[in-house]
Amino acid sequence: MPMPHSKRQVVVTRKLPDPVETRMMELFDVRLNLADKPLSHDELAAVMRECEVLVPTVTDRIDGALIQQAGEALRLIASFGTGVDHIDLRAAKAQGITVTNTPGVLTEDTADMTMALILAVPRRIVDGSKLIATGHWTGWSPTGMLGHRIHGKRLGIVGMGRIGQAVARRAKGFGLSIHYHNRKRVHPDIEDELEATYWENLDQMVGRMDILSINCPHTPATYHLMNRRRIGLMQPLAYLVNTSRGEVIDESALIDALKERRIAGAGLDVYEHEPKVSEGLLSLDNVVLLPHMGSATVEGRQDMGDKVIVNIKSFVDGHTPPDRVIDTMF
């Protein structure tokens, strides 16, 4: 049913792009977070008791306890982001609260960053930049800054959804051989287009790849999917790249493998305990570490905001939001 009054009470938990906030102000009764300071658990609980629509981001943990304390007015959580692992979907459903996200708009941006890491780690791009910046470069030499060629190598993609397929298209252009593991095999036409080899058994694929790219969402089924045992299956000259969610990898096991040179290196844009980055990772010289910026483009953030607005507007007008999240575990 449509909400009863013309301007709906919307709380936005973080600073959004100016055009998005301006349009929200035109349509809704909005409380913005201009300081961009993350709300504490108690602050989230307070606003959830008052608002009709909550617009959180992936950094806000909307757990079952918060949802159970929410006021009767709260009927929509319109998340600014693709992943929904920060929201207790089961608790939301029990309370009659609809959850939406912003899928699809970040596919190309995240795939670009994945490809950048696939190039940066084997080719030691960050090491080279540091060498220049510190003034230690003495000129070209036949054995200076040697990395590894990616052309002709095998890329294993874990998660062949929109982003995984976009990564595969880029990687194919660089001459990589495409392999993938997915919960379900993709359509044969997609396999043919990408010249991709499907591996039903993840262990078998992991042990044969030169580069492994994590592109699956974080769910209970994928938590520590790359655990200590699976990391141990990787080849000594293999690289691991993750632009998905940090929880998919056992970070402690990865650090040990990198320290002991049981794998060649890693490129990470996400971490298991964000925003905390393990000291073990920071001390390594065979990793490239980025601050969760895979989707950080002006265009992408604008598109995300537009989707949030469409979801809210559809909901308050009494329609099913186009990006309503349905948890298949229910």
- Check if 218 is active-site: no
Helix intervals (H) in 49-161: 64-69, 89-94, 107-120, 125-133
CB count, 10 Å around CB of 38? 14
Residue type, 77: I
Beta bridge partners of 11: 31, 54
Spatial separation of the C-alpha atoms in residues 17 and 302, rounded to whole Å:
7
- Residue of 52, 245, 251, 301 marked active site: 245
- Residue of 21, 50, 191, 274 marked active site: 274
- Check if 124 is active-site: no
- Residue of 23, 179, 292, 301 marked active site: 292
- Check if 245 is active-site: yes
**At a CB cut-off of 8 Å and minimum separation 6, what does 173 contact?**
none
Spatial separation of the C-alpha atoms in residues 17 and 280, rounded to whole Å:
34
Cβ atoms of 32 and 11 within 8 Å: the answer is no
Nearest CA to 20 among 313, 330, 323, 307?
307
Q: Among all residues, which ones are annotated catalytic?
A: 245, 274, 292
